[in-house]
Structure 1
Amino acid sequence: MKAYSQPVVTGVITAVVGFAGAFTIVLAGLEGIGATTSQAASGLMVLCLTQGVVAIWLGVRYRMPISIAWSTPGAALLATAGHVEGGYAAVLGAFVFTGALLVIAGLSRRLGRWIAAIPVSLASAMLAGVLLPLCLAPARAAADLPGLALPVIAVWLIMTRVARRYAVPAALVATAAVVLLDPGAGAAVGDDLFPGLSFVTPTVEPQTLVGIGLPLFLVTMASQNIPGMGVLASFGYRPHLRPVLTTTGAGTIVGAPFGGHAINLAAITAALAAGPDADPDPSRRWVASVTAGAVYVVIGLGAGLATALIAACPPLLVQAVAGLALVGALAGALATALASEDHRDAAIVTLVTCASGITAFGVSSAFWGLLAGLAVLGLRRLPTRG
């Protein structure tokens, strides 16, 4: 057992960092589509449970450090979705639709090729447009809630210089401190610390399937699954994509009625479990991802405490912390979106349309942004008469 102590410790760190760095984004996303506090806690819990179980299964089955996470860009998409046709139940139906698309992508080579054919620059621009409104929240919070937001931002800035990996967890600790010191917040913490899963029957609303379900699938594939495979390949692991997509898709379908939006390959924290810091021997690193999965299951049981803390915060402060957690992702998405000069105009059109937050015919801006970018790219490729 001593031989596996290093990957076990790394697995614990992977889960704690992954959860602390992004759970506020999940809660902000669920709140954005109309979930109550208990439903948001249920969504966070079921995401931890499903991704934990899938990570354990894949790691044990294939003996590879296949880390599973929730779709952080997908949660950001929900946070900026605005009014949704059909309400919360219809959004859960869109989550089921997203899971079904993930399963189909795993079983169908043609659909996988279609997704891969979307230019990386436009997929990144769509992601940047989804993230931008949340990343503006720290600036708004600094102006509107300076006593609460500025200490949190200061801690985050200092930690990005001292220990970048722990900048977001440190900002969360600072958030807890300022909330608990706020006389009006203390009473809100401690009501439902151990909630159960909250089941809501999903409904089918075609506009919501297109406006939420399809963009959620696209950002999950483009921003999580494809980069996640790249991270694993960089460390010498090449798992088949089919079982990854079918199991995460099935997990998404199972979790959807309880508020879970999507699970997928981890992209950022994947490097912790797959890299040499997990274990010098690559054949033992799968223990790290399996341990992370087990820790996620345990953390999920404490989702009520995390949700109660966030419920005690002003909504703008929650968005600010989520925005701080997404700054790095926004920077990476912008760099990729604008890297190609030939695609730059189309990428900008995609970005600004997605960031606009418009809803047309009940369909959200993420879908229209990608469609607009593809249209601009198509027009540029048309032959000109000379």
Structure 2
Amino acid sequence: MADEAEDKRAGGLVPLSAFTSALVAALVGFGSTVAINVQAAQAMGGSLADISSSITALCLGIAIAGSGLSLFFRMPIVLAWSTPGAALIAASTLSPGWPVAIGAFVFAATLMVLLGFIPALGRLAARIPSSIAAAMLAGVLLPFCLNLFRTLQSDLLVAVTLLLVFVVVRQRLPIYAMLIVLVVAVGIVIGRGDASGLSSSSLFGMLEWTTPEFDPRAIISLGVPLFLVTLVSQNLPGLVVLSSAGYKPRPEPILLTTGLLWLVLAPFGAHSTNLAAITAAICTGEDAHPDKQRRWVVGIIYSGFYVLLALFSAPLIGLFMTMRPETIAAIAGIALLGPLTNAVVNMVAVPEDREAAVLTFAATASGVALFGIGSAFWGLVVGFIALGARALLAKRRSAV
């Protein structure tokens, strides 16, 4: 009886691995891609206060929704921001201004809420060819990866150093590669004195309301592609990660909860709140917690670390604001090499869709803007037209 009571007490303790796994996941998720979020806000005309508010809102959305879902499902529901979504925003050539960008975020969040409310919309979204969505994503990510190598001309030291660190560490510690790259980049920045202008006036994160402005061109160019990219490249893979770990949550409550938090926080600059994929794998396995039934506490701890990141986000953002554009471009390019690889693989996975996917990829990567609407939308249009033409011709041939 004494042994049984001791086992129960031990079972109630949270193992150290739960804290370390959650901390590593939070640091990897935040540190590896925060530079892209800074780029995205800058591309939309955001001020320093807007950027700080955006990062704070993103972290709060991850913390609040993640902890609530983990408690509700009793599963380690790990959330993140949409890195491909941030890349999509940063790649936009529209420069609509911050209030108009906020309007596009609100629209994309509304679509995600509707997806959670109406199961029929979920089934319709599931019918979107994955090859076309992946091709659009690859077209969005390609320019960032190309900019990595363009920095060889303007800042050889940073580009070569960070690329070599990434390639070497990726062979041994792939999960931590981007975190180590970021640490090296910060070391170079401090060593060269680039951080000398870092402002210390603000220590804590902040939230700043921006009244949304709804512009049809921004909604079509940013809102719709942002919704699709977040759904296809974040939420769906996130559900797969949970499933592979032995968890089968209903997707509708997750989409609804993350969509509602996104909608509430969008006026403060949050461009997404969604399931994580890579960082989720750190928190959902036996290494995080040996007891599958109690592993949900890892999701709570992970959310707690994001509360801390939200609280002290201001100095972190200030550090990135002092970096040279070439340094930011190199960090972002390396961070997106993995997502680009996955997107290209998925783009060509279905042989009969390859031609349409390549057309989508080329149109998106071109950066063309017609009638004030960006290339991500036109890439989708070209891809769907190619698929429709193929289906129509196949139907006519079968009728002859």
Match of 2:17 among 6, 19, 26: 6
Give the CA deviation at 1:152: 2.1
Distance of aligned partners of 1:191 and 1:360 in 2 relative to their CA distance in 1, 3 Å threshold: farther
**1:63-87 alpha-carbon deviations (Å, 9 max, x no partner):** 01111111111001011012234x2
Q: Which amino acid aligns with 2:80?
A: A
- Correspondence for 2:126: 116
Which stretches in structure 2 are left out of the alignment for 5+ residues?
Answer: 1-11
**2:7 — aligned with what?**
none
- The question of whether the paired residues in 1 share the 8 Å contact of 2:239 and 2:275 is answered with yes
CA distance in 1, matches of 2:259, 2:368: 28
The 3-state SS of whatever aligns with 2:32 is helix
Residue equivalent to 2:142: 132
Equivalent residue number for residue 386 of structure 2? 376
2:226 corresponds to 1:212: no
Q: Distance in 1 between matches of 2:50 and 2:248?
A: 37
Distance 1:248 1:208 in 2: 22
Q: State the 1:189 CA deviation.
A: 5.0
- AA of the residue aligned to 1:79: A
Residues 89-123 of structure 1: per-residue CA shift (max 9 Å, x gap):
01101111111111100011121122111111111
In the aligned structure 1, how far is the partner of 2:363 from the partner of 2:237? 24
Distance, in Å, in 1 between the alignment partners of 2:364 and 2:316 is 30
Alignment of 1:49-64 (within 5 A): 49-64=60-75
Q: Which amino acid aligns with 2:69?
A: L
The residue aligned with 2:283 is 273
- How far does the alpha carbon of each residue in 1:234-259 deviate from its partner, in whole angstroms, 9 at most, with x for none? 11111111111111111111111111
Which residue in 1 is equivalent to 2:244?
A: 234
Output the CA distance in 2 between the equivalents of 1:302 and 1:360: 41
Q: Does 1:24 align with 2:35?
A: yes
Greater Rg, structure 1 or structure 2?
A: 2
> Which whole-Å CA distance do the structure 1 matches of 2:16 and 2:294 have between them?
11
Q: Which residue matches 1:221? A: 231
Tell me: CA distance 1:184–1:20, structure 2 relative to 1, closer, same or farther (3 Å).
closer
The two structures, once aligned, show a CA RMSD in angstroms of 1.5
- Structure-2 separation of matches of 1:311 and 1:52: 24
Cα offset, 1:205, TM superposition: 0.9
Alpha-carbon separation, structure 2, partners of 1:84 and 1:30: 10
Aligned residue runs from structure 1 range 129-278, under 5 A: 129-278=139-288
**Of 369, 372, 392, the match for 1:362:** 372
In the TM superposition, residue 191 of structure 1 has moved relative to its aligned partner by 4.6
| CA deviation map 1:345-372 (0-9, x unaligned) | 1010111111112222222211111111
Distance 2:139 2:277 in 1: 19
Q: Distance in 2 between matches of 1:329 and 1:24?
A: 15
Q: Secondary structure at the match of 1:339?
A: coil
Amino acid across the alignment from 2:130: V
Scaled by the length of structure 2, the TM-score of the pair is 0.93
Which of 219-228 and 310-319 deviates more? 310-319
Partner of 1:65: 76
Which residue among 43, 49, 54 is the counterpart of 1:43?
54
Q: Which sections of structure 1, spanning at least 5 residues, go unmatched?
A: none
In structure 2, the residue corresponding to 1:194 is in which secondary structure? coil
Contact 1:193 1:308 in 2 (8 A): no
TM-score, with structure 1 as normaliser: 0.96
Which runs of structure 2 are paired with 1:319-330 in the superposition (5 Å)?
319-330=329-340
How much identity, in percent, do the aligned residues show?
39
* Aligned mates of 1:309, 1:328 — CA distance in 2: 25
Deviation at 1:195, TM superposition (A): 4.4
